[in-house]
Structure 1
Amino acid sequence: MNRVAELKQQLKPGKVYRRENLTRYSNAVDRHLAQLVDDGTLEKVASGLYYFPKRSVFGAVPPEDEVLVRSFLKDDHFLLTSPNSYNALRVGTTQLYNKRVVYNHKRHGEVDLNGKKFFFHKTPYFPKKATLEFLLVDLVNHLDTLAEDREMVLNNALAKGKTMDYNKLKYAVRKYGHSKTKKLLQPVLQQMNPKQYAN
């Protein structure tokens, strides 16, 4: 068995590999990776990142966004979301955005992974899961980036906030809200629970 075949034996369909993790299986990893890309075994999804596609009756299955981000960051500490997630709030956001946002502790900036654009935001605080309270705060944080009628969306968001769990919303505002967002949502919290908010 030649060295390329040996390297290929280590690969599992559906996984994304970093070049550095494959050096132990090859004495000429760049040449061997180039051969595997040329023969269609691997797809290069970013600098130093390679995908071994799963196959279905329809052809190669693209890697999941979370798999790409996890391999790129080399850890699980991130939250992958999108402005499309705001639609769950039912506050008037109806546009479909081809945008992926990654809250994380390591990287900041726009990165192309497998032909998709990911916007990495380095921040100390983000939840493990995008709750409705987090999404509301995140929407107000990024209101200026929305394509919809922003005044209408904001008014709807403030009204939606009043229907949420007070403690969960208060925590999300304090933990994730920008200063402008905190000012906008403070009256909502005060109205929901004036006594507790005053303490």
Structure 2
Amino acid sequence: MKKSMILFLALILLFTLAGCVPDDNSDTDIGDMRTYDDFKNKTDKEDISKTLKDKEIQEAYNSGKYPIYTTNDYPFDLEVLDYIEMPKDSNLEEKLRVITKAISERLFEGNPMDFISFEEVEGKNIAVISLDKNEDVEENLFFPSPGWRHYFQGSTGGAATATKLIENLLQREYEGEWIDGVRFDYTDDNLGFIHVAELEDIKFR
């Protein structure tokens, strides 16, 4: 009787342990693998897309065209809005003047901005860009351009404005001769860079 009972208990224990062993081909595991594979494929596609985009930009540079970047709300990913073409023999100052004008017209409704000069900071070549007060806004409330104050308002709007200004002037993807950094001067002393702290200091490439 004892032997029968022991054998019975042993069989129950054996079946119990067998039920606890995970099935290598279970639906849960397959689902997890599919999720990982989908994520990996998506990541690979994003990497390929970025590579193609970088290649497109380099080809544009080689043909004398420079990208004008725009960005939407956070996380402020850059998108190429358009390319502007410049003579290949243009010097650095001429290129900066053309890009500055394009930024003003295509991104900021013609608000006054201009290349002022180069300055050396710690052995690096820094471009100084002025963001001028739009006098027409103060004199005529119906003037179509809202002035720089409009673009500096709010944390999101201010950050988007700073990103557009900085990245378009630094042209980080360009491998030729370029500035090492940029500094902005804003002539409206009453406001300053309250909502665009990124523009207060030199931004290096």
**Do Structure 1 and Structure 2 share a fold, with TM-score over 0.5?**
no
TM-score by length of 2: 0.28
TM-score by length of 1: 0.28
Larger radius of gyration: 2
